[in-house]
Amino acid sequence: MNGLEKIEFLDNIGSELQSRMTFSDIDTYFRGYGVPTQDDYPHNSKRAYAKDMLANVDDELLFKIADELGIIEVPNSSTSAKDVSFWKAGHFRLFLSHLASFKVQTSHLQTALRKYAISSFVAHEDIEPTKEWQNEIEAGLRTMDAIAAILMPGFQESKWCDQEVGVAVGRDVLVIPIRKGQDPYGFIGKYQGIQAKGKTIGEVAEAVFKTLVKSPKTRNKILVALSGAIANATTSEEAIEKVLIFNSLDGVPSEILENLKQQVVDNSRLTESKEFVDNLNMMLSKFNVKKLTIGKTEQEAEWDDIPF
């Protein structure tokens, strides 16, 4: 890697660690690889901390860490890494397998899924005209976290659609059948799927999200993606929308919510919004997680309730 590539690569790793781990988790993770840590780090940015701690690590170890974290764009001194540009960083990666005749509705579903921090690949919409379309599809299939197959008459007969599902089965990633006139078949026949008949695009998007939350294969990754989308939101309205999605769930692991609290502190747009903080704390209370306090430590907040 040249100097600029390494800076960008470290930034990608730092961003991923920031969205997934607490400071303590990062230290534990680094120690497992023999990466030095620092107790008296002068800043409160996990992203900057990770970049500084990894600055002198050799490239081979950086590639190993990036691969484990699922980072797609990995510079390689011997072979150039494929530039997979269609996934949004930090989002859950969902491949949408569909017939060409259904591309308009599928692209609308792609838009609706963004609300849930889901980045979707729609072949007929996402492949740039100058790129080899088959290579792009293969890149999407290699790097997806799950696949949603829009089953309708003609899907099974399509060599491309059927093979896309076959790749997912072979990789053992979650397959979500969306039933639009055809039932799941073959290796995906065991999945009941989502019934799309009579549903709006928004309702189908919500059903896909809830399926990802329920599956052990994807639950943690989709919740981490949604958490990261809150922490990195550019407006309080955007963040509140996603907090309400969390609040609609039956259960969320406390470690994800504790990590979310730490990440939110770094975003002044959110901490300065009373409406956002109130909505976040309402959600945290639902899952029995201590509220976020702004401007004073949690210990001081506890003292407020102790008689003098």
- Helices (H) and strands (E) counted in the chain, each on its own, are 15, 5
With residue 195 as reference, give the H or E element that holds it. strand 194-195
pLDDT of residue 193: 87
- Count CA within 13 A, CB hemisphere, residue 227: 28
CA distance 192 to 98: 18
Query: By 3-state DSSP, what share of the chain in percent is helix, strand and coil, each rounded to 5?
Result: 55, 10, 35
Cα dihedral 78, 83, 89, 92 sign: negative
Among positive and negative, which fits the CA dihedral 198, 91, 252, 277? negative
| Low pLDDT (below 50) residues in the chain | 77-82, 297-301
**The pLDDT of residue 77:** 40
Please write the tens of the pLDDT for every residue from 194-237: 999 889 999 999 999 999 999 988 998 899 899 999 998 999 99
Return the pLDDT at 82. Answer: 41
CB 65 within 8 A of CB 33: yes
Closest CA to 209 of 237, 178, 186: 178
pTM over cut 0.85: no
| CA distances from residue 214 to 123, 246, 274 in whole angstroms, order as listed | 26, 13, 32
Distances (CA, A) of 35 to 14, 69, 72: 14, 16, 22
Bridge partners of 119? 93
Euclidean distance between CA atoms 245 and 230, whole angstroms: 11
Q: What is the pLDDT of residue 80?
A: 32
CB 268 within 8 A of CB 239: no
Nearest to 260 by CA among 19, 75, 13, 30: 19
Which of these, 89, 68, 82, 77, lies nearest to 11 by C-alpha position?
89
pLDDT in the model for residue 302 = 54
* DSSP per-residue letters across 236-285: HHHHHHHHHHHHTSS---HHHHHHHHHHHTT-HHHHT-HHHHHHHHHHHH
